[in-house]
Structure 1
C-alpha cells in the first residue's frame, strides 16, 4: 500500500522539475507537502525492508524461505496486478465516439505507466532490488501474455494458460472479462486503430504519413500515434501489435482466397468473361484492337464481384501500412536507444543473406541446417528492431489459381475510374460516396500477388503494360491529345508498385516504353 501511495503521488501530485527553472517558480515546484509524504512513505518502506532483509534464510518444514526473494516476489505480484489492471481499464474505447479517444487515452496511459516506472525507479534503492530489471521483465510478460491471448482467437489450437511461457502460477497475470469482441487491451487498441484508419472513411497520404477524413478532410491521425504507443507500451507493445496485425492479415488473405475459389471461380458467367478476355489480350506483347471497348465490356460484366474483393484488398493494404509504420517507429527508437544493437543486427542480417546467396550460387558453401534455429531467432530480433519489410513477407501458402492475373488486372482497371490524379496529392478518390484509398489498394494487391508465384506478378504487370500501350495507341490514332485518366492511374500503379517492392525500374519498362514512363507527369 505504501508503494501504491507513492505511485499515486508520483503520477498525480508531484511535478517533474525541469532542467532549467525560473527562480520565482521554485516554490511551485517545491511541493513540500507531497514530497514530505513521499519521504515518510519511503522511510516506512525502507524500515520494513531492513527488517525483512535482516531475517536469515529459514526452513518452514522442508520449504526453504529466502526473505529477500519473498520481498521481490511480493513486489512483482503487486506490480503485475496494478499494471495489468491499469492497462485493462485505461484502454477501453467507445466506438461510437465522434472523435476518437485513442490519442487521449494513450496519453493518459503513458502518464500512468511513467508514474509506475518513476516510482519503481525511485524505490529500488530503498528495497535493495533491481527495479528497472523487474519492471522490464514484468511489463513485457504482461504485454506478451495479452498478445498471446488475443492471437488465440486466430489459432485452431489455443495456447492455454498452463502452456503459456508468459503466465506463471507463482506471479500470475490477472485475466479480465472481455469488454467487446477483443479478448484483451491489445486487441481493443488494434481494432480501434483499424477503425479510425478504415480506408472506407479515410484517405492515407503516403508522403505525410497521415490519415485524413474523406468527407471533412480533417486529419484523423498520423505517425505520432505509433510514438505514443511506444511511450505507453514500449517496444513490447508495438511488437505485439505488429504480431496481431500479422494474424489479421493472414485471416483476411485466407478469407479472400476462399471467396475467390468459391464465388468467382464457380460463377460460370464470370469464367467465360475471363476466357474471352484472355483470348482478346493474346499475345500480351501485342496491342489490343478497339481497346477501350474491350476493356470497358469486361469491366462492366464483372462489376458485381468487385465489392467484397476491394474490401479485402484494402483491409490487407491498410494493415500493411500500419505494419510499415510500426517497423519504422521500432527501427527509429532502436537506433536512438541502442544504436550498437541496431548496427549489430543489421550487419549480421546482411552477412547471413550474403552467405545464403553465396550458397545458392555454389551449393558447396555452408548454409544453416534445418535443426539450426539461427534464422528463426534472428528474425524475431530483427522484427523487434524494425529491420524488416512487411511487404516482402509470405503470410500464407497458396495453390495455383486459374485466371488469377487476369482477375486482378480487371479488378485494378475497374477501380481506376473511381480515382483521379492530382499533382499535390497523387491519386485520390473522386467521390467520398464511392471510397477507394490508393495506398491500401496498391499495397493490398502487392501483398496478395506476393503470396503467389512470381510468374503471376509478371503476367499481371504485362497485362497492365498492354492496357497502357493499347489505350495510348487508340488515343493517338483518334488524335485525342489528352492522356486518359485510366492510363495515368495505371502508370501511377506501376510506378508505386516498383517503388514499394524496391524492384529495378526495368521491371516496369519491360512492359511500358520508358519515354511514356518518364514523361507522363509532364503532360498532366
Structure 2
C-alpha cells in the first residue's frame, strides 16, 4: 500500500462536511490566524512566522486529499506562501515531518515542492544561514560581555536587540530542523538523505557552532527578558522619580532667577523666573498612562530647554547649565521609561519558541556534557537553555487552559517532568565525572599513600611524606569542588511547574551515580560457581568489602567539599538497593508480584538498575549470596558445632564458616544486606514448610493405609502404656514401612533447620552490631519490647487490662525495628498458619526415630553427628528443623511428640535393664541427647523432660555423658 493510500484511508475514516473543510483550508491559506506576522516584520522571516499555521495546514490537507493529488495551483500557492525555503516542519512538540517523503505519493503536492527543492535554491538558503551563523556567534558574544546589556543601552536600542534575537532564532530553527537526523518515518528515503547531505555540505554544518549559538541566544534572551521584567515592575516608580527630579530642578531655577535664592553671578530675571516655573508645571502635568502624548510633549520640552539655553546664553553659568542638562537627562529617561512596553516581552516569547527542538535537541546533549566537563561554569548558560526549552510547554497547555480543562495540571506535570528528566540527564555528567575523580582519590588513599605512624624516625620523614601523591589528592579534590561550585552557581529555576534546585540536582545526581556503581559492584562480584568444590564466598566477600569500604571512605572524605551529608546518603542508598533486590528476589515466592512501578524502593529520579540473572535459580545478587551460604553449609557435607559457632567439613574436618564470616558479610553488604538475607531465608522457610504441610495433607494423612497404620501405632503407644516391650522390633516394623517417604521429609526438615541456624547467626551479628554502633537505640528497643510483652502478659492474666489492638501500628513497626536490630529469636517464630493434623505428632516421631539410628553423640564435639560417612546427616539442623515444624502447630502436638520420644527412651532403658546391661543402649543415649537438644532449641525448661523421664535416668545419663 502506498503512502498516499495509507493517509487517505486513515483520515477517510472521519466524515466531515467537504464545504467546512474547504473553508478551513481557505482561511489557513490566506490569513494570519495566529497573528504572528507582527512579531516577524521582515518578509524573509514569513515562513518562520507562519510555521505554526503551516503545521496546521499540513494536517488539514489530508482531510481533502484531492487538493494534494490534483489541485496543482492551490498547492503551488501553499508552497510559495508557507514552504518556499523549508521542507522539514515541526507539527507538535518536536514531532518533525519531511515534506519530501510525506508528499512523495501526492502528485500536485510533489510538483509544487519542486522549486523549493531545486539544487540552487537549497544551496542558496544553506549558504545564507551558514553565513548568518558565522556572523551571529561573535555578535552575541560581544553583546553578552559585562557592561553591554545595561538599562540605557537596551532601552535606546530595543528594536536592534529584538532584531538580533529574531535573527538568531530563525537561523537556529532552520539549521536544527534541516540538519536533524532522519525520523523513523523517512529514514529510508534516498531523496531526503540526499537533500540533507547537501544542506550539511553547503552550510558547512558544525553541530558545535549551532550549539554555541543556541547557548548565546538563550543567555541573551534571558538577560533581556529579566531586564524588561524588572523595568516593567519599576516603570511607574521610575517615571514618577524622574518627573519629580526634573520638576524640582525647574522650580529651583525659577527661584534662582526670582532673586530669592542667591546664586553667584545670576541676576534677577522675572521672565526666566516665570518660564522655568511654567516649565515645572508642564513637567508635573505629564502622565505615564498616555505614553504617546507624553512622549511628544517631552520632545517639545527638551527642544524648549535647548532654545532657552542658547537664546539667553545660560551656558556661561555652569550651575544653571548643569540644572538644565540634568533636567534634559531626566526627561530623556522618562521617554525611555515610557517606551518600556509589555509587547516587547510578548514578541520575545513568540520569537524565542523552541518547541520544534523538543526531540531534535537530544544529539546536542553530548556537546552540553563535554562542555560542562571542560568548564563546569557552563551550567549557568545551560540554565538559560533549559528555560528556553521550557517555553515549549506553552503549546500543549495553551488550548487546555483556554478550555479550562481539568487536565491542565496533569499535562503540565507530565511535560515538566519530562523536561526535568532531560535536565537531570544533561547534568548527570557532573556526578559521573566526580565519581571518576573520587575513584582515583580512593586508589591513592588506600593503595599508594601510607598511613603515618604515631612515632617515626626523622630519616623516614621524607619517605612517608609522599608529597607528590598528596599533591595529586589535593588537585583531584579541588577538581571535585570546582564541579560542585559550577552546578551550585545555577540558580533555583522553575521548569514548567516544577522548581529545580541545583543543590538537590547535585545530590540526586550523586545518589544516582552511587546507586549505579554499588549495584554494579554487587552484581559483578557476588557471582559464584555452583560446581566449584572450594567455595569462593569468603574471597568474593573480601573483594566486595574492599570496594564498598573504598566508596564509603571516598564519601567520608569528599562530603565537606561538595556540601552533602555523605554518610546519610551512603546508608540510605545502600539500604534502598538491598531492599529493592530482596523484594525482587522474594517475588518468586509470591503469587502477586511487586512490579517495578509498585516498589517503594524504586525511583524514577534515582533508578536502581536491574541486571539479567546470572544463573537459573536466583534473580539477583542477594539470591545468589543466600544460595551460596546454603551450599557452603549443606548439612549433608558439613557439621555445625554450636560450642564453636562454626561449620566444619565432614570429610576433611576443616573449618568452612564461623561467626566471623557473618561479620564479613556485614562489612560487605551492610546491615541492610544481613536483614535482607534474613527476610529471604524467611520466605524460603515458609515455602519449605508449606510444601511439607501440603504434602502431608494431600498424601500421607489422607491415605487409608497410612491412617490404619497410625491407628495401630497410636494404640500401641497409648499414654497408659509407659514403655514398649521389645522396642527394637516394635519401632522398626513401622519405621521401615515408610522408607520411601522419609528422604523427602528429611530434605524439608534439614533445609528448614539449616536456614534457621543461619538466621540465628544473622540475628546475633545484627544484635552485636546494633549494640556497638547504636547503644541508645538498642537500649530503647529492648525496653520498649519488654514493656509491650509485659502489657500482653498482663492482659492474658487479667483480660480487663488494655491490650495493643491489631489496628495499632506499634507492634508491626516495633517488630521491624527488632528484626533490624537482631532482637528476635528465629527458633521461636511461627512462619505459617496451620490447622491441627491428626497423627502429625506420631508421624514426626516415627520420622525422627528413623533418622536417630544414623546419629550418635560425639563427646569431643558436644553434638549429634552421623555414624557413617556414607550416610551424612548433621544433628543440629535436624533437631532445629524438627523443632521449627512443631512450632508451627498447637503446643499440644509438640508435647505429644516429646511424650512419644520419652516413651521411646524409657522403653530402651528398660530393655537394657532387663538385659542387665550396665550402660545405656545407643538408642536410649541418642534419644536423650535428641530430647535435650530439642528442649534447648525450643526454649523450654529442662523440667519438661523430668515430667516424662525419671530423674535417676536423666542424672545417670548426664553422668555418663560427662564421664
Residue of 734, 744, 747 corresponding to 1:311: 747
More displaced, 203-212 or 30-39?
30-39
The answer for the alignment partner of 1:111 in structure 2 is: 546
CA contact (8 A) 2:435 2:513 kept: no
Between the aligned partners of 1:433 and 1:312, the Cα distance in structure 2 is 20
Q: What SS class does the counterpart of residue 288 from structure 1 fall into?
A: coil
Alpha-carbon deviations, 1:74-133, whole Å to 9, x = none?
A: 111111111111111111111122211100100110110000001111111111111111
TM-superposed deviation, 1:416 = 1.2
**Which residue of the partner structure matches residue 474 of structure 1?**
911
Rounded Cα–Cα distance in structure 1 between residues aligned with 2:461 and 2:611: 44
What does the per-residue CA deviation read over 1:331-350, in whole Å, with 9 as the maximum and x for residues that have no partner? Answer: 01111111111111111100
For residues 155 and 500 of structure 1, do their structure 2 counterparts lie closer, same or farther at Cα, with a shift above 3 Å needed? Answer: same
Q: In structure 2, which of residues 922, 929, 932 is the aligned counterpart of residue 485 of structure 1? A: 922
8 A Cα contact 1:9 1:34, kept in partner? no
Provide the C-alpha distance between the structure 2 equivalents of 1:246 and 1:28, rounded to a whole number of angstroms: 54
Change (3 A) 1:370 1:2: closer
When structure 1 is superposed on structure 2, of 19-28 and 461-470 the one drifting more is 19-28
The Cα shift of 1:164 comes to 0.7
Q: Is the 8 A contact 1:273 1:301 kept in 2?
A: no
Shift of 1:27: 5.6
Residue 442 of structure 2 corresponds to: 10
2:524 alignment counterpart: 89
Contact 2:727 2:907 in 1 (8 A): yes
* SS across alignment from 2:813: helix
Question: Alpha-carbon deviation of 1:307?
Answer: 0.6
In the alignment, the residues of structure 2 paired with residue 5 and residue 14 of structure 1 have an alpha-carbon distance, to the nearest angstrom, of 15
The alignment status of 1:409 with 2:841, answered yes or no, reads: no
Give distance in 1, aligned partners of 2:920 and 2:754.
30
Q: Which of 124, 131, 138 is matched with 2:573 structurally?
A: 138
Q: Which has the larger radius of gyration?
A: 2
Deviates more, 1:183-192 or 1:265-274: 265-274
**CA-to-partner distance for each residue in 1:195-254, whole Å, 9 max, x for gaps?**
110111111111111111112221111111110011111111100000000000000101
**Residue 65 (1) aligns with residue 500 (2):** yes
- 460, 468, 474: which is aligned to 1:39? 474
Instruction: Give deviations 1:299-338, integer Å, cap 9, x for gaps.
Output: 2222221111111101100000000000000001111111
1:506 paired to 2:940: no
Q: Give the drift of 1:379.
A: 0.3
**Residue equivalent to 1:182:** 618
Distance 2:467 2:860 in 1: 56
State the distance in 1 between where 2:462 and 2:952 align: 71
Aligned partners of 1:522 and 1:106: how far apart in 2?
A: 44
In structure 2, the residue matched to 1:452 is 889
2:875 paired residue number: 438
Counterpart Cα distance in 2 of 1:415 and 1:257: 20
Taking structure 1 as reference, are residues 22 and 408 closer, same or farther at Cα in structure 2, changes over 3 Å only? farther
Classify 1:59/1:291 alpha carbon distance in 2 versus 1 (closer, same or farther; 3 Å). Answer: closer
Equivalent in 155, 159, 164 of residue 590 of structure 2? 155
Does structure 1 residue 373 correspond to structure 2 residue 809? yes
Q: Deviations over 1:459-509 (max 9, x none)?
A: 111111111111111211121222111111111111112212221112111
Q: Does 1:298 align with 2:734?
A: yes
User: 2-side partners of 1:28 and 1:435: how far apart?
Assistant: 58
Q: How many angstroms apart in 2 are the aligned matches of 1:21 and 1:497? A: 56
Q: Deviations over 1:236-281 (max 9, x none)?
A: 1100000000000000101111222233224444333322211111
Contact 1:405 1:456 (C-alpha < 8 Å) held by counterparts:
yes
Q: 3-state SS of the aligned residue for 2:685? A: helix
1:314-325 equivalences under 5 Å are 314-325=750-761
**Separation in 1, partners of 2:501, 2:759:** 45
Question: What are the residue-to-residue correspondences of 1:202-213 with 2, within 5 Å?
Answer: 202-213=638-649
Q: Given that residues 124 and 130 in structure 1 are in contact (C-alpha distance below 8 angstroms), is that contact kept between their aligned partners in structure 2?
A: yes
| 2:933 counterpart (492, 496, 513) | 496
Distance change >3 Å, CA 39–CA 205, structure 1 → 2: same
Structure 2: runs of 5 or more not aligned: 1-432
Secondary structure of the 1:466 match is helix
Provide the rounded CA distance (Å) in 1 between the counterparts of 2:937 and 2:463. 53
Label 1:284 to 1:227 Cα distance change in 2 as closer, same or farther (>3 A).
farther
Q: Helix, strand or coil: the match of 1:420?
A: strand
Residue-by-residue CA offset, 1:54-75 (whole Å, 9 max, x unaligned): 3321233443221111111111
Greater Cα offset, 184-193 or 54-63? 54-63
The more displaced of 255-264 and 306-315 is 255-264
- Please report the RMSD computed on the Cα atoms of aligned residues, expressed in angstroms: 1.7
Structure 1: gaps (5+ residues): none
Task: Show the counterpart of 2:509.
Answer: 74
Distance 1:35 1:93, change over 3 A: farther
Cα pair 2:441 2:476 within 8 Å, conserved: no
CA distance in 2 between counterparts of 1:78 and 1:284 reads 72
Show the counterpart of 2:714.
278
Q: Is the 8 A contact 2:449 2:469 kept in 1?
A: no
Report the CA distance shift for 1:460/1:99 in structure 2 as closer, same or farther (over 3 A).
same
Residue 637 of structure 2 contacts residue 650 of structure 2 at CA under 8 Å; is this kept in 1?
A: yes
Change (3 A) 1:16 1:450: farther
d(CA) in 1 for partners of 2:469, 2:518 = 23
Q: Mark the CA change 1:349 to 1:63 in structure 2 (over 3 Å): closer, same or farther.
A: closer
Q: Secondary structure at the match of 1:522?
A: helix
2:681 to 240, 245, 248: 245
- Residue aligned with 2:639, SS: strand
**Worse overlay, 399-408 or 53-62:** 53-62
Distance 1:29 1:143 in 2: 40
1:290 Cα shift? 2.5
CA contact (8 A) 1:284 1:466 kept: no
The correspondence for 2:695, drawn from 234, 242, 259, is 259
Tell me how far apart the structure 1 counterparts of residues 590 and 839 of structure 2 sit (CA, whole Å). Answer: 31
Judging changes above 3 Å, is the alpha-carbon distance between structure 1 residues 272 and 347 closer, same or farther for their aligned structure 2 residues?
A: same
Distance in 2 separating the partners of 1:293 and 1:517: 25
Distance 1:148 1:281, change over 3 A: same
TM norm structure 2: 0.53
In the aligned structure 1, how far is the partner of 2:805 from the partner of 2:628? 42
Moved more, 476-485 or 151-160: 476-485
C-alpha contact (below 8 Å) 1:2/1:41 kept by paired residues: no
Structure 1 CA distance for aligned equivalents of residues 717 and 483 of structure 2: 83
Higher alpha-carbon deviation: 289-298 or 227-236: 289-298
CA distance in 2 between partners of 1:396 and 1:40 (Å): 59
Q: Offset at 1:370?
A: 2.4
